[in-house]
Amino acid sequence: MTNKAILQLKDIFLKFSGESHEIEVLNGINLDIDRGSSVAILGPSGSGKSSLLSIVTGLEKQTSGSVTVAGHILDHMNEDQLALFRRDNMGIILQSFHLIPTMTALENVAVPLELAGQKDAMATAEAALDHVGLRHRLAHYPAQLSGGEQQRVAIARAVAPNPKIIFADEPTGNLDGKTGHKIIELIFNLQKKFNTTLIMITHDTQVAQHCDRILYIQDGLIVDRQSQKGPSDEEDTSDQKSTTKKVAE
């Protein structure tokens, strides 16, 4: 792992026992992601994108391999330790927003701050909502907000603790084109503003073009890597055991 790397995956395999056979979801992922960079993960449905995201966020345990985030190895942490690690280091934006319906926008954003014991949690949350343009919606419940507004609250919740990495899983999947566009703009602006690392799962190649790197994942393997900002990072895979193949354009 280089000094610049905030995330390192080594030989990540994920398998489930199905009713009649074993289901292989990830088949040997190796990956380094630099601090402060933005990475898009593209791939068809069932390729393993969400599974990869759940592993790097500590929400699921890999069958084998190693995950290191911000210098911490996640492999032997228990569930509570992973939850605390997420609280202190990660911001997660999900496709279906997943706001807590019984809390206002302000309270939703304040949750990770309150969990961390921050005394000025409400003030920080208010500032975060201001950043996403929702100062006028502090006391509204999720049911009173539009889809775009709910996603903005989710974004504010993710960035408010000033995390080292932001993960976004299809953040515009449930939004119309115009709204989705604005959301993506917002995410990237915030990423630059707070200088965090961004890892985004998306179907949209146009959205992916905004990122520093694009990873194509298929059948549980990273089959192509493209860097928008520099030479291809093929040298990172030279010692990998996994096979690679070009994705037909």
Partner 1 sequence: MNQTAALCALRFALRESRSAFQNFKIFMVSLFLGTAIIAGVGSVTANISDSIRKDGRIFLGGDLEISQNQQRLAQDERTYLNQWGMLSEVAILRSMAHVENDSSLVDLKAVDGAYPLYGDLDLQAGQYIPEMLLKQGQNWGVIISSALAARLNLRRGDSLSLGTARYQVRGIIAKEPDANNQGFQLAPGAIIALDSLFENSLIQPGSLIRYYNRLKLNQGINSENLKLNIKKNFPEKSWRIRDSSSGGAGLRRFVGRMGQFMALVGLAALLVGGVGVSNAVRAYLDDKTNSIATYKILGGTGQLILMTYLGQILFIATGAILLGLITGGLLPIAAGEIMKESLPIEFGWALYPKALLLAAFYSYSVAVIFTLWPLGKAVQLPAARLFRKTVSKRGAIGQSLPYIAVIAGLLILLIMVVIYMSEFRMLTAVTLASAAGAFLILLGASTWAKAMARRIPRPKNPIFRIALSNIYRPGNATNAIVLSLGLGLILFTSIALIEHNLLREIKDRVSGEAPSFFFLDIQKDQHDAFTDYLASREGVQRYRTVPNLRGRVTHVKAIAARHAPVKSEGKWILRGDKGITFTPILPADNIITAGQWWPENYDGPPQVSISKQMADSMDIAIDDTITVNILSRNFTLPVSSIRSFNWESFGINYVMMLDPKTLKSAPFTYVATAKALAGDEREIYRELSQKFPGISVIRMAEILDNAVALLGKLSASIDVMAAITIISGIAVLAGAIAAGHKTRIYDAAVLKVVGATRYDILKAYIIEFILLGLLTGAIAMILGSLGAYCVIKFVMDMSWQLPLDIPAGTVSASVLVTLAFGMVSIWLAMSARPADILRRHTS
Binding mask 60-79 for partner 1 (x = CB under 8 A): x------------------x
Among 15, 35, 72, 98, binds partner 1 (CB under 8 A): 98
Write out the E strands in 47-196: 64-69, 72-73, 90-93, 165-169
237 binds partner 1 (CB under 8 A): no
Residue 149: CB minimum distance to partner 1, A: 15
53 binds partner 1 (CB under 8 A): yes
Neighbours of 100 (CB within 10 A): 12
Residue 87: CB minimum distance to partner 1, A: 2
53: tokens are 């995201």
128: tokens are 């975060």
Among 9, 56, 69, 111, binds partner 1 (CB under 8 A): 111
Angle between helices 147-159 and 177-194 (to 10 degrees): 10
Q: Residue 192 contacts by C-beta under 8 Å, 6 or more apart in sequence? A: none
**3-class DSSP state for residue 94?**
coil
Residues that bind partner 1 (CB under 8 A): 16, 23, 50-51, 53-54, 57, 59-60, 79-80, 83-84, 86-88, 92, 94, 96, 98-103, 107, 111-112, 114-117, 157, 169
